[in-house]
Amino acid sequence: MMELQDGAELCFPQLFNMSCRKPTLRWSETVLLKLLLFFISLTTIAINLLVIISVSHFRQLHTPTNILILSLAVSDLLVGLVLMPGEIFRYTSCWIFGDIVCALYWHLACQTLTTSISTIAFISADRYMAICYPLHYSKIITSTRTKYCVCLCWLWSFVFSMFYVKDELNQPDTANSCFGECVPKYNYITVTVDLILTFIFPVTVIIVLYMRVFVVAVSQARAMRSHITAVTVHHAVTLSKKSELKAARTLGILVIVYLSCLCPYYCYSLVDVNMMNHTVATFLLFLFYFNSCLNPLIYALFYPWFRKAIKLIVTLQILQPGSRETNIL
């Protein structure tokens, strides 16, 4: 195989002047990195698949909130099934699938991540209505309306991703500087639009709604505490404090994990629009994707019904007749 003077091998030796260099990772580093990232990918697939099976199978779980969780799990499943392995391959190997597949890959990446972020915003709105307006929740938030919102979310993500990667779809080879490379084409307009629509706006919505939820939860706990008789004052204080701490912890985890996974990528995209440092860009993008592994842990594993559903799925009890009607709550 033809090699360059510095010892780096080419992806396509027959195209000496147009071929990219092969990644220069050591063999041990490549193997360990692939094993670690594939483990994260498989974990993401497995957890989200369990969420999808649980919500889809058990009729008792067909609620508006769980419909949103199902949509989130589908988008996160695509991240673990397609985007994470694709990013591993991009970083450790030469891209051999051509420019058109590369453009479609970035289209799917944009659509899937936009859907995931939009669904999280919808979940925050659902919880805001459930806690702040409990008497009107069942009338306003119905399963039919929630399904319409989910369809709208996926449609919006598809349209936005078409705009975001339209240059790659029209001219698939413009972003790549050589054969064997698969990188998106960035400019300040697309980066700014993406920053506003898929980061600043949803983050603002999530933080505002969750802060409102937290304030209402704390005020309700204090109101309940003030009406307790003197005999049970100490017990009420203890319960209310636990309730406040639990609410603060849960909301804090939701917001901090979300921001921790997304902020580094978007901040770096502003500093280096073209993502010239591929190592840093790949790490931050995979951190972005890692949020899809954490989402089901945050939104589903906190629910007792999910642990019960896992037991029924693993033991294959869902294959028994009438298992859809199991009391899972």
45 domain-assigned: yes
pLDDT at residue 7 tops 70? no
Q: Give the pLDDT band (50/70/90) at residue 148.
A: very high
- What is the residue-averaged pLDDT of the chain? 77
3-state secondary structure of 21: strand
pLDDT at residue 289 tops 70? yes
**Number of domains, the chain:** 1
CA dihedral over 165, 167, 173, 177, signed as positive or negative = negative
The residue written with tokens 């896992």 in the block is 310
Domain with residue 193: its CATH number is: 1.20.1070.10
1 domain-assigned: no
Contact of 106 with 165, CB cutoff 8 Å: yes
Structure tokens at 140: 């306003």
Domain span including residue 84:
27-325
- What confidence tens digit (pLDDT) does each residue in 203-253 have? 888 888 888 877 877 776 676 666 654 444 444 445 444 544 454 566 667
Radius of gyration of the chain (CA): 23
pLDDT at residue 273 tops 60? no
134 domain-assigned: yes
How far are the Cα atoms of 14, 15, 159, 266, 309 from residue 95, in angstroms, in the given order? Answer: 15, 14, 27, 25, 40
Structure tokens at 123: 């979940």
218 or 28, which is more confident? 218
CA distance 86 to 88: 5
21 domain-assigned: no
CA distance 309 to 318: 9
Strongest mean pLDDT among 80-84, 129-133, 279-283: 80-84
219 domain-assigned: yes
- What confidence tens digit (pLDDT) does each residue in 157-168 have? 998 888 777 766
The single-letter code of the amino acid at 54 is S
As a whole number, mean pLDDT of residues 37-58 equals 90
What is the per-residue pLDDT for 236? 46
Entry pTM: 0.82
How far are the Cα atoms of 19, 33, 220 from residue 210, in angstroms, in the given order? Answer: 50, 36, 15
For 48, other C-beta atoms within 10 Å of its C-beta total 26
87 domain-assigned: yes
CA distance 92 to 259: 27
pLDDT at residue 1 tops 70? no
What is the per-residue pLDDT for 234? 47
Among 60-74, 264-278, 311-325, the minimum mean pLDDT is found in: 264-278
As a whole number, mean pLDDT of residues 129-141 equals 84
What is the per-residue pLDDT for 280? 77
Task: Look at residues 176, 19, 23, 192 and name the one whose alpha carbon lies nearest to residue 103.
Answer: 176
90 domain-assigned: yes
99 or 77, which is more confident? 77
57 domain-assigned: yes
Contact of 38 with 46, CB cutoff 8 Å: no
